[in-house]
């Protein structure tokens, strides 16, 4: 089991769009396993590769946080191809720890991706799964959930993070 450090808000790797995965090999399988271990240890329901400093278009999601076998989704080169509805709910992020805000996201999302074996897949998600799919895809595009906030809410979080960073606690 390899648990890797999660990059936090302010790290430039979180702002760069990731590169497509072209080859599914043993190295990628190890990266996937390390990402899953890191996500479960955090604990979190999703993790994008750039959150551990790897600029690859790869994400993992497991709403059960490892408690229910078969619920882990490994998504290589994910792409949101359809959305339906809209819902506003609380959202947090492993790269912005200890902050939660209401974010507007689609209620349902259709994702196209490759699984860890290279098989083409499509999956509809709704509720928390749709939110996780959007959140992790945003990461792969260099966007953080705080970027969906405006005005005082966003300024408050950025100011608190800046203060924590100056004190060495970030």
H-type alpha helices, the chain: 26-41, 128-140, 151-166
Distance of alpha carbon 170 from alpha carbon 165, whole angstroms: 5
Is 143 within 8 Å of 91 (Cβ atoms)? no
- Name which of 165, 99, 102 is nearest 131 in CA terms: 102
Is 53 within 8 Å of 90 (Cβ atoms)? no
101 in catalytic set:
no
Is 12 within 8 Å of 50 (Cβ atoms)? no
- As a whole number of Å, the end-to-end CA separation of the chain is 25
E strand or H helix at 145, and its extent? Answer: none
Tell me which of 22, 71, 89, 136 is the catalytic residue. Answer: 136
- The residues that are catalytic are 136
């Amino acid at each position: 089991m390899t648990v890797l450090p999660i990059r936090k808000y302010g790290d430039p790797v979180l702002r760069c769009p990731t590169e497509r995965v072209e080859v599914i090999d043993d190295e990628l399988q190890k990266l996937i396993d390390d990402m899953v271990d890191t996500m479960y240890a955090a604990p979190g329901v999703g993790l994008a590769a750039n959150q551990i400093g790897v600029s690859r278009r790869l994400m993992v999601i497991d709403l059960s946080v490892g408690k229910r076998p078969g619920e882990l989704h490994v998504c290589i080169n994910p792409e949101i191809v359809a959305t339906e509805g809209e819902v506003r709910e609380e959202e947090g992020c492993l790269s912005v720890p200890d902050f939660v805000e209401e974010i507007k996201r689609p209620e349902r999302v259709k994702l196209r991706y490759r699984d860890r074996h290279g098989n083409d897949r499509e999956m509809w998600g709704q509720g928390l799964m749709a939110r996780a799919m959007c959140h992790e895809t945003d990461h792969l595009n260099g966007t953080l959930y705080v970027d969906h906030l405006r005005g005082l809410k966003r300024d408050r979080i950025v100011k608190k993070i800046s203060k924590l960073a100056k004190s060495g606690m970030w």
